[in-house]
Structures are given as C-alpha cells and as structure tokens.
C-alpha cells in the first residue's frame, strides 16, 4: 500500500469502509499516521506514548485494532487531497454535531459501539458540505 | 479469528484509557503533549506523565509540556507544572502554548509568566 500513501482522496462510505477493513493492521496504522500524525493516533488508540504507535508499524499488534480501522474509515471519508491538517483538525475539534465533544477523545474514552454511529453521521455531514 | 471473537473485540468495553497526555521523544526534548483537560481529576496523571518524561530524558534533553491542544487547565494543573519547574530548573523545563492561548492569561494571573519558561511552539525553544 506504499504507493497509495502519497495522496489520500476522499472516499465514499462504502469504499472507505472496504479499504479500512481490508488493509493489514500495520498499513492501517501507517495510513493513519500519515494523515493524523503519531500523537493523534496515540490519543485515538488509548495509549500514552507515540513509541507504542511506532511499534505497531513494525511488529506489535495494537490493543484496539477495530478503533483504529474505524478511525481510518472516517479519515478517508473526510480527507481532502494531501493536506492532513484539515483531517487532524476535524478529529481534534469540538464538534457541534457531537455535543461539542472531540472525536479523538470520544474514540479514546468511550466504547466503540457507543460512538461509531454519531461519529460516522458527523463525518458524512462534513464530507457532504 | 472467528466471527464471535471479532464481534467481541468490536463491541467489548475498552480498558479505561488514561488521560490523553502523550509522551513524544524528540531529539532535544522529551515532550508531553496534552490533549485532555487538566483538572482535579487528571492533574495527578499529568504529574506522572511529566515524571515519566523526566526519567526518559537524557542530560542533553529538556522536558516540555505542550499545551497547544489542551482546552482547559486549572490551578491543579499549574501546580504540577510548577512542581516540574522546581524539580528540573529553568534550564530544562518548558511549557509550550500558542501566543493567543487562553492559558497565557491564567499563567499571567498566577505570576508564572517570566518565572517559568514558555514558548509559542516547540521550534521556539532554544537548545544548547
């Protein structure tokens, strides 16, 4: 998937889901780090240091792979070209559609099943603007 | 992995994640990036994160607390920063917050501007 990392284009709901679910978890982490940066991936994944994220790109399994796949799915829905700053801002910002909560912290602190629906809805709304 | 296991993984409750204080190793500093609110519930965790960064830092590295992504910090958080400043000294401890950050007013009221090293970004921290 290295050739796909140079640029990310927004994908439809279905395509983003398919890509996020079909990639090897190492590639999921790689793509997320490319778009969001090591620190934000660490926030989403629930860990306390970026070293853990770097290890997932080598030979370790993350503790919450489904959360990371979901984060990639959402990121792929809202990304615009190669500018990752907008995607990072979306994950870090207080979102009015999410009761002013921050998507990254929602993914970190709440069960995935509880936050998937609201976050996907917010991402769809943003992608459709 | 069978279907049952994958469903369990998708829907099981996560272990409680610690507050989002992320330690980042940079060439000249060990950085604690703060993404969560710092208040009475999380201030001790910030202190622990700063201690881990301090333990990891070499003698050539500073310890930096980056408040760029922190939306709220109260006096409990300031106490942790003050403790770190006392322990590490002015030459090794920095706090990063953007120039227009609301935290600057809190630091000013608390008399910490000028006492504690602050910078608008990591790039603004002098080294060596």
pLDDT, tens digit (0-9, with 9 covering 90-100), for B54-73: 999 999 999 999 999 999 99
Verify whether the Cβ–Cβ distance A51 to B25 is below 8 Å.
yes
- B11 and A111 within 8 Å at the Cβ level: the answer is yes
The pLDDT of residue A15 is above 70: yes
pTM score over 0.90: no
For residue A101, CA distances in Å to A92, A109, B33, B107 come to 9, 11, 19, 26
Q: Which range is least confidently modeled, A2-11, B31-40, B96-105?
A: A2-11
Distance from CA of B19 to the nearest CA of A (A): 8
Q: Residue B93 CB: number of other CB atoms within 10 A?
A: 23
Could you give the residue ranges of the DSSP H alpha helices within chain A?
Answer: 13-22, 25-36, 38-45, 50-56, 65-78, 84-92, 103-109, 112-127
Contact B35 A111 (CB under 8 A): no
* More confident position, A127 or A56: A56
Residues of A in contact with B69 (CB under 8 A): 92
Q: Give the gap in angstroms from C-alpha B117 to the nearest C-alpha of chain A.
A: 23
pLDDT exceeds 90 at position A98: yes
Across the interface, whether the CB atoms of B35 and A49 are under 8 A apart is answered: no
- Assess contact for B83 and B105: CB atoms under 8 A: no
Choose, out of A38, A48, A71, the residue to mutate when testing the contact with B (most B CBs < 10 Å).
A48
Residue whose structure tokens are 């792979």: A65
Question: Rounded mean pLDDT of B94-98?
Answer: 95
Position B42 pLDDT exceeds 60: yes
CB A9 within 8 A of CB A79: yes
Amino acid B7: pLDDT? 47
Q: Is the pLDDT of residue A6 over 90?
A: no
Consecutive H or E run containing A117: helix A112-127
- Measured in whole angstroms, the distance separating CA A26 from the mean position of its chain's CA atoms is 14
Q: What is the per-residue pLDDT for A129?
A: 77
Q: What is the pLDDT averaged over residues B75-79?
A: 95
Residue B8 C-alpha, separation from nearest chain A C-alpha, in angstroms = 11
A67, closest residue in chain B (CA to CA): B10
Name which of A38-47, A98-107, B110-119 the model is least confident about.
B110-119
**Mean of pLDDT values over B24-53:** 96
Selection from B126, B97, B98 nearest residue B32 by Cα? B97
pLDDT at A13: 80
Cβ of B23 and A64 within 8 Å? no
Query: Would you state the structure tokens that stand for residue B94, as one six-digit string?
Result: 């920095």
ipTM for this prediction? 0.84
End-to-end Cα distance, chain A: 29
Which of B35, B56, B67 to mutate to test binding with chain A, by most A CBs within 10 Å of its CB? B35
Looking at per-residue pLDDT, the higher value among A8 and A34 belongs to A34
Q: How far is B111 from chain A (nearest CA, A)?
A: 30
Comparing CA positions, the residue from A71, A108, A69, A101 lying closest to residue A87 is A71
Q: What is the mean pLDDT of chain B?
A: 88
Cα distances from A92 to residues A37, A85, B120, in angstroms, run 12, 10, 19
∠ Cα B36 B39 B41 (to 5°):
90
User: Is 50 exceeded by the pLDDT of residue A45?
Assistant: yes
CA B8, distance to chain mean position in Å, is: 34
Mean pLDDT of A89-111: 95
Comparing CB atoms, the residue among A43, A65, A94 nearest residue B20 is A43
């Amino acid at each position: 998937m290295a050739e796909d990392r140079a640029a990310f284009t927004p994908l439809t709901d279905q395509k983003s889901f398919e890509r996020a679910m079909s990639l090897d978890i190492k590639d999921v982490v790689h793509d997320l780090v490319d778009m969001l940066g090591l620190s934000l991936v660490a926030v989403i994944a629930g860990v306390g240091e970026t070293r853990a994220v770097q290890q997932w790109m080598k030979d370790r399994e993350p503790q919450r792979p489904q959360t990371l796949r979901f984060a990639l799915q959402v990121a792929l829905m809202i990304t615009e070209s190669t500018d990752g700053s907008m995607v990072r801002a979306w994950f870090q910002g207080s979102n009015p559609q999410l009761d002013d909560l921050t998507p990254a912290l929602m993914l970190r602190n709440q069960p995935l099943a509880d936050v998937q629906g609201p976050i996907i809805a917010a991402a769809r709304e943003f992608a459709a603007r | 992995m069978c279907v049952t296991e994958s469903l369990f993984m998708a829907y099981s409750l996560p272990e409680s994640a610690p507050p989002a204080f992320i330690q980042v190793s940079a060439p000249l500093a060990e950085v604690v990036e703060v993404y969560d609110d710092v208040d009475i519930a999380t201030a001790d965790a910030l202190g622990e994160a700063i201690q881990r960064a301090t333990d990891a830092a070499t003698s050539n590295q500073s310890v930096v607390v980056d408040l760029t992504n922190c939306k709220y910090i109260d006096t409990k958080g300031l106490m942790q920063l003050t403790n770190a400043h006392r322990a590490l000294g002015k030459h090794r401890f920095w706090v990063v917050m953007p120039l227009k950050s609301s935290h600057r007013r809190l630091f000013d009221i608390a008399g910490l501007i000028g006492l504690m090293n602050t910078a608008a970004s990591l790039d603004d921290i002098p080294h060596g």
